[in-house]
Amino acid sequence: MTIRFVTGNDGKVREAREYFEGIDTIEQIEYDYTEIQSDSLEEIARHGARETFEAREGDDPVIVDDTGLFVDALGGFPGPYSAYVEDTVGIERFWRLAREEANRRARFRTVLAYADADGTETFTGSVAGTLVAPRGDGGFGYDPLFEYNGQTLSEMSTEEKNAISHRGRAFAAFAEWYASNED
């Protein structure tokens, strides 16, 4: 199957290609779907996937991935605003804010929305970790700040990150649902 991944984020596509290697083809497409104002990742992703599937030619299913970093001590901030915070202040300044907190627990959460001619489904994945001073060269976004089991996500290979990450877990939930729906 070819799955159209609606995203401008090459890091997400790299992880999807690694995860679905030999199983499905991941085609990256860009489509400027309406980003509805909502603090629910589910609603944003579901709406984006449906709108893109309806608007674009073709029957290949589409997926949208909406991800946020939720910091316990900051009441879940930046959460659904994670992209805005990365683009405006950047992860170094974000770290300077987070390091003031005694409790550095945080969680990544991904909602993956899948849309095809039969409907729309969402799958979630999350991972809990600790915020640390930036380390590592791999990954993207907030990865250098997020430590899991002694390693930041930036210090892991794509395969290692997929095995434990929010996105990898959402992919796993999706793959399981898909396999049980195939016929």
CA-to-CA separations, 175 to 31, 39, 126, 170, 172, in angstroms, rounded: 24, 26, 16, 9, 5
Question: Is residue 70 involved in binding ligand ITT (CB under 6 A)?
Answer: no
H/E element, 92: helix 90-98
Q: Segment contacting ligand ITT (CB under 6 A): 55-63, 82-90, 119-127, 171-179?
A: 82-90
47 is in an annotated binding site: no
Q: Which residue is nearest to ligand ITT (CB)?
A: 141
Give the interface size with ligand ITT as a residue count (CB under 6 A): 18
- Residue spans of beta strands (DSSP E) within the chain: 2-6, 25-29, 62-71, 78-79, 105-116, 119-131, 146-148, 151-152
Q: Segment contacting ligand ITT (CB under 6 A): 55-63, 93-101, 135-143, 168-176?
A: 135-143
CA-to-CA separations, 107 to 61, 126, 167, in angstroms, rounded: 29, 7, 12
77 is in an annotated binding site: no
Instruction: Identify which of 117, 10, 9 has the alpha carbon closest to the alpha carbon of residue 60.
Output: 117
Of 121 and 127, CB closest to ligand ITT: 127
104 is in an annotated binding site: no
**Do residues 108 and 165 lie in contact, with contact meaning Cβ atoms separated by under 8 Å?**
yes
Question: Which residues are annotated as part of the binding site?
Answer: 7-12, 35, 66-67, 140-143, 161, 166-167
Binding-site sequence positions for substrate? 7-12, 67, 140-143, 161, 166-167
Which residues contribute to the site for ligand ITT (CB under 6 A)? 7-9, 12, 65-67, 82-83, 86, 139-143, 153, 165, 167
Which residues are part of a known binding site for Mg(2+)?
Answer: 35, 66
